Amino acid sequence: MKAPKLTIKNILFAIFLLLIIIPTTRQFIQIQLQKGLALFSPGIESVEDRAVITDYNWQLVDINGNAYNFRQAENKIVLISFWATWCPPCIAEMPSMQKLHDDYEGKIEFVFISNEKPEVITSFLQKNNYTFNGYSPLEVPTNTLFKVNSIPRTFLIDQKGSIVIDKNGAANWNSDTVRETIDQLLQL
User: How far, in Å, CA of 113 to CA of 110, rounded?
Assistant: 10
> Are 108 and 79 contacting, i.e. CB atoms less than 8 angstroms apart?
yes
Beta-carbon contacts of 179 under 8 Å, excluding residues fewer than 6 positions away, are 100, 103
Residues in the chain: 188
pTM: 0.81
> In this predicted model, what pLDDT tens digit does every residue of 2-43 receive, in sequence order?
666 677 777 777 766 666 666 666 666 666 665 665 666 788
Kindly list the distances between the CA atom of residue 15 and the CA atoms of 24, 25, 76, in Å, as whole numbers in the listed order.
14, 12, 49
What percent of the chain has a predicted confidence (pLDDT) above 90? 63
